[in-house]
Chain A
Amino acid sequence: MNDKNKVIAGIVIFFVLLTSPFWYNLLAAKTPAPEVVLTAKAKAAKVCVRDTAWMKANHMQLLDEWRDAVVLKSERIYVSPDGKEYNMSLSNTCLDCHSNYTEFCQRCHEYASIEPYCWECHINNPKETE
Chain B
Amino acid sequence: MEDSRRQFLKITGIAALGLSTASTAGVLAADQGPQPYTRKGDEALTAKQWGLVIDTTKIDHELAEKITEACHTTHNVPFFDPEIVGPEVAKRHEIKWIWETHYHNAFVDSGSNNYMSEEVEHRPFLVLCNHCEAPPCCRACPTEATYKRDDGIVIMNFHRCIGCRFCMAACPYGSRSFNFRDPRPFIKETNLKWPTRSKGVVEKCNFCVERLAVGKAPACVEASDGAIVFGDLEDPDSHIREVLREHYTTRRRVSLGTGPAVYYII
Among B34, B38, B193, which residue has its beta carbon within 8 angstroms of that of A91? B193
Contact A120 B39 (CB under 8 A): no
Contact B196 A123 (CB under 8 A): yes
Q: What number of B residues sit within 8 Å (CB to CB) of A? A: 26
Contact A75 B38 (CB under 8 A): yes
Residues of A within 8 A of B18 (CB): none
Residues of B within 8 A of A67 (CB): 159
With known contacts A69-B38, A75-B40, A121–B197 Cβ distance under 8 A? yes
Bitwise, B6-48 to A at CB < 8 A (1) or not (0) is 0000000000000000000000000001111111110010000
Quick check: which of A22-30, A78-86, A103-111 contacts chain B, the rest being far away? A78-86
The answer to whether the Cβ of A71 comes within 8 Å of any Cβ in the partner chain is yes
The answer to whether the Cβ of A77 comes within 8 Å of any Cβ in the partner chain is yes
Contact B190 A77 (CB under 8 A): no
CA distance A108 to B213 in the complex (A): 33
Contact A92 B193 (CB under 8 A): yes
The answer to whether the Cβ of A122 comes within 8 Å of any Cβ in the partner chain is yes
Contact B38 A71 (CB under 8 A): no
Contact B192 A129 (CB under 8 A): yes
With known contacts A120-B198, A121-B195, A79–B190 Cβ distance under 8 A? no
Closest B residue, CB atoms, query A118: B195
The answer to whether the Cβ of A73 comes within 8 Å of any Cβ in the partner chain is yes
With known contacts A73-B38, A76-B213, A79-B36, A121–B190 Cβ distance under 8 A? no
Q: Within the complex, what minimum Cβ distance (angstroms) separates A107 from chain B?
A: 23
CA distance A41 to B182 in the complex (A): 32
Please count the residue pairs between chain A and chain B whose beta carbons lie under 8 angstroms apart in the complex. Answer: 65
Among A66, A72, A130, which residue has its beta carbon within 8 angstroms of that of B157? A72
Residues of B within 8 A of A73 (CB): 38
The answer to whether the Cβ of A126 comes within 8 Å of any Cβ in the partner chain is yes
With known contacts A75-B38, A76-B40, A81–B33 Cβ distance under 8 A? yes
The answer to whether the Cβ of A88 comes within 8 Å of any Cβ in the partner chain is yes
Among A76, A120, A122, which residue has its beta carbon within 8 angstroms of that of B41? A76
Contact A122 B195 (CB under 8 A): yes
Closest B residue, CB atoms, query A129: B192
Closest A residue, CB atoms, query B157: A71
Contact B196 A121 (CB under 8 A): yes
Among B38, B157, B197, which residue has its beta carbon within 8 angstroms of that of A78? B38
Contact B194 A79 (CB under 8 A): no
Contact A117 B198 (CB under 8 A): yes
The 5 closest A-B pairs by CB, nearest first: A120-B198, A69-B38, A121-B195, A126-B192, A75-B38
Contacts A83-B34, A91-B193 known; 15 new A-B pairs at CB < 8 A: A65-B38, A66-B38, A69-B38, A71-B159, A77-B40, A77-B41, A78-B38, A81-B33, A91-B194, A117-B198, A121-B196, A121-B197, A123-B190, A126-B193, A130-B192
Can you list 18 residue pairs at the A/B interface with Cβ under 8 Å?
A50-B36, A65-B38, A74-B149, A74-B151, A75-B38, A77-B38, A77-B39, A77-B41, A79-B37, A81-B33, A81-B34, A88-B38, A91-B193, A91-B194, A92-B193, A121-B197, A122-B195, A126-B192
